[in-house]
Amino acid sequence: MDIVLPDAPARGRWTARDLAYCGASGAAALLLPVLFHLVRLGHVFMPMYLPLVTLAFFVPPPPAALTAAVVPALSAALTGMPPLYPPVALFMALELAFMAALIAGVLRLRPQADERLVLLPVLCCGRALYVALVYAFSRLIGLPAGFMAGLSILSGWPGIVLMLVVVPPVARLRHGHRAAAQAPERAAAAGKAAFFDGIADEWDARQDLQELSGKLARGIEELGVRPDEKILDVGCGTGNLTRALLERLSPEGRITAVDIAPRMIAAARRKIRDPRVEWRVADVRDLAFPDSSFDRVICFSAWPHIDDREAAAAEILRVLKPGGTLHIWHAAARGRINEIHAAAGGAIGRDLLPPAGETAQLLARCGLRVRAAIDDRERYLVTAARDGCGADDPGGKVSTEG
């Protein structure tokens, strides 16, 4: 569920869960130092950092960084610590926001990353930033800058060690909580899988395969698929796009075709027997492939059926090679597709295809570079690339109609 913030549209929406986590962690960051001061070690172990660094493992970068920036100032006003002058509160806010944004950002790209491997460099970078700020400010007001910076380095290490010990086990809880948070979506996905399983055997009979095959061949030509590419076909259904792609690929090319419905995969397997294709039953939000596995991901006629599209885009971004390309493609007008889904009802009755501009914005939010967004009477195509060398589609066109 989304929270409506007074000026939310520019920034996107935060979920109630994000806000609850920010509130709880911020509260802990205000109170934990009080407990540490009981044992008179509050200033050594940087207790305020613990909840705010932990928070970055549970929420996206903007709320994590904003909470980390706000809490030191709030604490300064309420408890007098950290002081407003010298501007320790400001330095801590900058350091914490920097670390939180970095951790949450890294986890968006690599959700399964080892917590310690993420933490150690980030904590060191954060401390380096803090020390640099202390050094610069000490010079400005005439305090011994080298001494103050050295003191900051020495006083930071116990806190960093404590965070390395305490935060990773707590951060691992996010896997369990994420699964719980996604439970309703997984139930919806299971409903859709059952729906498509139910129509798998008659799927091809419902379509004009000759016309579709012509559209696919022309589309693939236009996408610029190279013969030796490694392609992920998301929502492959009975394998119509897969077959068209195989005609384009050389013996070195490979296709991995995934679908959430096992009977669709079974039908495709019966239809196409080619060693260049690997068939898998999989949810696009949870692909069991290593990072940077594919040159190209094509999501043909499947995007409206994905409930959590941000998670899907993040997962696609993960498995795309740097410079790799994603196409969200339909060979018909958006309005027509939405009419068909509404008429079908049941598990897919509310699976509406959003305007191409909206999809492009979502992909950009997830870190993909949008190259084209076409939404006209003939087709729907949003093309985006992962940053890095090798992008071969300089595009950048946006066209919408109707």
Partner 1 sequence: MAHFAHDLWGRGRGPAAALTPQGRILAGALLVAACMTAPAGSAAGTAFIAAVTLAWAVACGIPRRAAGSFALLGLAMFLPYFLLVPLLAMERPDAAAQAFPASAAGAPWDVFLHGMAGMFLAAATASSLGPSDLRRGLLALRVPGAVTAIVVQVLHQTGELLDETRRLAAACAVRGAAGRGKAATAVLAALPRVWLPRIIGRAERVAAAMELRGYAETDLRVFGAPPLGAADAAVVIALAAVLAIAAALRLGWIR
- Residues lying near partner 1 in the complex (CB under 8 A): 1-8, 11, 14-17, 19-28, 30-32, 34-36, 38-41, 45, 47, 50-51, 54, 58, 62-63, 66-67, 70-71, 74, 76-81, 83-86, 141-144, 147, 162, 166-167, 169-170, 173, 177, 180
Supply the minimum distance, in Å, between the C-beta of residue 380 and partner 1: 30
Q: Which is nearer to partner 1, 162 or 287 (CB)?
A: 162
Supply the minimum distance, in Å, between the C-beta of residue 90 and partner 1: 11
Q: Which is nearer to partner 1, 85 or 343 (CB)?
A: 85
Q: Among 239, 312, 222, which residue's Cα sits nearest to residue 274?
A: 239
Q: Which is nearer to partner 1, 45 or 195 (CB)?
A: 45
User: 273: which residues sit within 8 A by CB, 6+ positions away?
Assistant: none
Supply the minimum distance, in Å, between the C-beta of residue 64 and partner 1: 11
Q: Which is nearer to partner 1, 143 or 344 (CB)?
A: 143
How many angstroms separate the CA atoms of 283 and 327, rounded? 17
CA dihedral (227, 230, 234, 237) in degrees, to 10, reads: 60
Supply the minimum distance, in Å, between the C-beta of residue 181 and partner 1: 8
How many angstroms separate the CA atoms of 27 and 36, rounded? 15
Q: Which is nearer to partner 1, 66 or 217 (CB)?
A: 66
Supply the minimum distance, in Å, between the C-beta of residue 170 and partner 1: 4
How many angstroms separate the CA atoms of 23 and 363, rounded? 28
- Compute CA distances 23 → 17, 51, 60, 181, 348, whole Å: 10, 11, 14, 18, 36
Supply the minimum distance, in Å, between the C-beta of residue 38 and partner 1: 5
- Residue 398's φ and ψ, nearest 5 degrees, are -130, 125
Q: Which is nearer to partner 1, 150 or 355 (CB)?
A: 150
Q: Which is nearer to partner 1, 82 or 235 (CB)?
A: 82
Q: Among 276, 261, 129, which residue's Cα sits nearest to residue 196?
A: 261
Q: Among 305, 303, 287, 304, which residue's Cα sits nearest to residue 384?
A: 303
Supply the minimum distance, in Å, between the C-beta of residue 126 and partner 1: 18
How many angstroms separate the CA atoms of 391 and 385, rounded? 7
